[in-house]
A and B are shown apart, each in its own frame.
Chain A
Amino acid sequence: MTALAVETTGLSRRYGRRWALSDVSLGVAAGSVVMLAGRNGSGKSTLLRVLATALRPDHGNARVAGHDVRLERDLVRRKVALLGHHSFHYEALTARENLGVAASFLGRSNDESLLARVGLEARADDPVASFSAGMRKRLALARVLLQDAEVVLLDEPYGELDPPGFALLDRVISELRSRGATVIMATHLVERGRALCDRALMLEEGRLAWSGPAALMPAEAPGGSFVP
């Protein structure tokens, strides 16, 4: 049985007069690791944010983990974790406190081992305002792990990370895979995506331009450089 963890039909979203996402229909099998490719501004982040219910779709719909993103927002949210461009942190609080805030809303105890896992134990009690971009990314990753979600959406997770961070993220993704979670990862790192992911989706100007096995993914969209 191949249940779909993510299923979208005609999904569209606009910012002002520009369509960031238009008429995207796709399905992602539960338990698969999918790469989301596309140039800057092709709609990758918008797609992930719509799937995470951070943005409402303007047209079309999506089901994530079996629930409707419009009508069953809270049920979707219980099963989805998003690592986005914004790290969702309070600058004035420490790393430990930030995780504690998230844990208190999740009704969980603060898992201290997560900070060690992402390599932040030495700076756990420093305010996030003093963190570098890479450290913020690590903290955001710890928060995603805390959520223990069925569907994990990673928006350029490798950005700003150092080489040990790359290795950490590779490990995390393979652990998520072995746990049976579905991962959709937007990234520009084609080689890494081909190696880590099962399937790939490519967006071009808000539309789905290519989909298939990650190993066969072209470096550019098929109609990549067409200019009318």
Chain B
Amino acid sequence: MNPFVAALRKDLLLQWRTRSQLVAVFVFGASALLLFSFAIGPNAAALRQFAGGFLWLALLLASTLALADSFESEMAQHALEGLLLLPADPRALYYGKAVANLLQLSLLGAALVPVMVVLYDAGTARVPALLGIIVLGAAGLSAPGTLYAAMTAQLRARNTLLPLLLFPLVVPALLGAVKATSLLILGDPMGQLGAWTMLLVAFDAIYWSLCGLVFERVVED
């Protein structure tokens, strides 16, 4: 079997088995959205204006939990090390995990959209475009996030260090995703959606290739 397919199958199986954790992470994201709405108060226009930003903040916070979880099972009995010793190609292991995390975060993002629509009155007619932006943004979180989670999972201070390293790095992806989402919700009179999508695509292309290249150095002793 192609090692990438083997890795992806393994990670999807793991995520399916731990799906209750994903539900918990979703509840975390949804409650973050609820709490953010209190920061604005019952002002329909303001709520709509900030909906995109809060959606991505909720997803970002939830993603650190999901990313850390995805390496919990690898570290408990040193399963990742066991695979490397077989030997399994570390690049295949990285891309398998990153794609599985991308799917999980996309799912999480898509599930948070209805919560956002209800709480912030922020619907959009362009649902496929919104889902596309969510996938691109989730890809931007999952590529460096998977790498850094592999690093911090080996440390004592993992819960602090993962967001510390990840948050500044994903600023461009976050800006792109927030802007694109807001344009979809509020309308795009100046046709800027394309530029922000391109920024997301560029960020994803750079980090999906770079992180795969260096993953081996991070997981080998």
Chain A positions within 8 Å of B, measured between CB atoms, are: 52-56, 73-74, 77-78, 80, 82, 84, 86-93, 97, 101-102, 104-107, 127, 136, 143, 147
CA of A84 to CA of B81, assembled, Å: 11
CA of A101 to CA of B18, assembled, Å: 17
* Interface pair B85/A104, CB less than 8 Å apart: no
Answer yes or no: B10 CB below 8 A from chain A CBs: yes
- Across the interface, which residues of B come within 8 angstroms of A90, CB to CB? 10, 14, 73-74, 77, 79
CA of A84 to CA of B84, assembled, Å: 14
Chain B positions within 8 Å of A, measured between CB atoms, are: 1, 3, 6-7, 9-10, 13-14, 17-18, 73-74, 76-79, 81-88, 220-221
**Contact A104 B10, CB 8 Å, known A92-B73, A93-B17:** yes
* Interface pair A105/B78, CB less than 8 Å apart: no
* Interface pair A78/B77, CB less than 8 Å apart: no
* Interface pair B83/A89, CB less than 8 Å apart: no
- Across the interface, which residues of A come within 8 angstroms of B3, CB to CB? 105
- Across the interface, which residues of A come within 8 angstroms of B84, CB to CB? 77
28 contacts between A and B (CB under 8 A): A52-B85, A53-B85, A54-B85, A55-B221, A56-B220, A73-B87, A73-B220, A77-B86, A82-B85, A84-B78, A86-B81, A88-B81, A88-B82, A88-B83, A88-B85, A89-B79, A90-B10, A90-B14, A91-B77, A92-B14, A92-B17, A93-B14, A97-B13, A101-B10, A102-B86, A105-B3, A105-B7, A107-B1
CA of A107 to CA of B88, assembled, Å: 10
Which secondary structure dominates chain B's binding surface? helix
* Interface pair A93/B13, CB less than 8 Å apart: yes
CA of A54 to CA of B85, assembled, Å: 7
- Across the interface, which residues of B come within 8 angstroms of A102, CB to CB? 82-83, 86
- The chain B residue sitting closest to A147, CB to CB, is B86
**Contact A74 B18, CB 8 Å, known A88-B77, A105-B3:** no
CA of A93 to CA of B13, assembled, Å: 8
* Interface pair B221/A105, CB less than 8 Å apart: no
CB proximity of B17 to chain A, nearest CB, Å: 4
CA of A216 to CA of B14, assembled, Å: 49
Q: Which of B3, B13, B73, B86 has the most CB of A within 10 A?
A: B86
- The chain B residue sitting closest to A97, CB to CB, is B13
- Across the interface, which residues of B come within 8 angstroms of A92, CB to CB? 14, 17-18, 73
CA of A54 to CA of B79, assembled, Å: 12
CB proximity of B11 to chain A, nearest CB, Å: 10
